[in-house]
Amino acid sequence: MTNYNREELEKRAQDIRINALKAIHAAGSGHPGGSLSCADILTALYFEIMNVDPADPAMAGRDKVVLSKGHAAPALYAALAERGFFDAEEMMSLRKLGSPFQGHPNMHRVPGVEMSTGSLGQGFSAAVGMATVGKIDRNPGRVFVLTGDGELQEGIVWEAAMSAGHRGLDNFFVFVDLNGLQIDGRVNDVKSIHSVCGKFEAFGFETECIDGHNFEEILGAYEKLNKPNRKPKAIICRTHKGQGVSFMTDQAGWHGKAPNDEQFEQALRDLEAGIGAYEPPKGCHPLPTDKTFCGKTIEPEQAKGGAE
């Protein structure tokens, strides 16, 4: 780690989760589960890995992140605010008429958003295009795409992954938020995506499978893979949907609904108390981090909810 120690990164991630939930609660709608599961990944990207300048969002040679799972926009907005692209209070207009902070990111209205996303798989494809252009232009900036495991059911993802491998895009990094759930329930029940590592490796990627809530593992995997060898990179991050909030953790029903006032207050208490010591509630799935897992199915016992 170069800029912050683990405790500082955990505090940043906590603030990102809190601001994302505040915005969702204020809007009365949104996607808390997947926003909370990817907060640590975004924290590592914006505060340790990426070369960006909030004072110059269009800086030449910058690194770029594409949130392909665009419904997790509250987490992206909160990460950008935490990094200094705008004040966090601005994002409290989430989903309001006329607000730039809509339910999915808009690259034309929000500083730091590199690609408008929403339809699953399209952000991944656009990111491959951006990395291809970067190679042609000899641009030093890398492209990081954050995708979800439910999104990996989209065929457009694998067409783009084939292109990334074929073109030797070693400036292209995929972070998979593998929380095991999607709007209709368990990912494996809807359409199995395993083996995730095996699939990416078949398309020419180097892969690592890690605990997506552990900064040492996130940054360690990045350092291990960050080398010019004409291979794109995929870091499979095993996560908990709703991480940090007791009643949301590993619950498919929290994919896309806002907490009421009482639930919101409980969520804030959980997040404020849990930094550095959060343990998922009893019965939640473990976080296996070896490539053997990526060919198996370990699903949360509690995640029996369906669509929102």
Give the model confidence (pLDDT) of 49-106 as tens digits. Answer: 999 999 999 999 999 999 999 999 999 999 999 999 999 999 999 999 999 999 999 9
Residue type, 225: L
Residue ranges covered by each domain of the chain: 6-295
pLDDT in tens, 12-50: 999 999 999 999 999 999 999 999 999 999 999 999 999
What are the backbone dihedrals phi and psi of residue 274, each rounded to the nearest 5 degrees, phi first? -90, -10
Cα–Cα nearest to 308, from 156, 213, 183, 139: 183
Q: What's the whole-number mean pLDDT along residues 255-275?
A: 93
Q: What percent of the chain has pLDDT over 70?
A: 93
Q: Say if CB 127 and CB 143 are below 8 A apart.
A: yes
Q: Say if CB 234 and CB 243 are below 8 A apart.
A: no
Residue type, 164: A
Q: Say if CB 82 and CB 75 are below 8 A apart.
A: no
Q: What is the DSSP letter of 162?
A: H
Cα–Cα nearest to 121, from 173, 156, 165, 158: 156
The structure's pTM equals: 0.93
For Cα atoms 79, 143, 242, give the angle at the middle one, nearest 5 degrees. 40
The string over 206-235, giving b where at least 16 C-beta atoms fall within 10 Å of a residue's C-beta and e elsewhere, is bbbbbbbbbbebbbebbeebeeeeebbbbb
Q: 6-295 architecture in CATH?
A: 3-Layer(aba) Sandwich (3.40)
Sign of torsion over alpha carbons 135, 141, 142, 148? negative
Q: What is the pLDDT of residue 299?
A: 53
Q: Tell me how far apart the alpha carbons of residues 107 and 103 are, in angstroms, rounded to a whole number.
A: 13
Count of alpha carbons within 13 angstroms of residue 109, beta-carbon side: 15
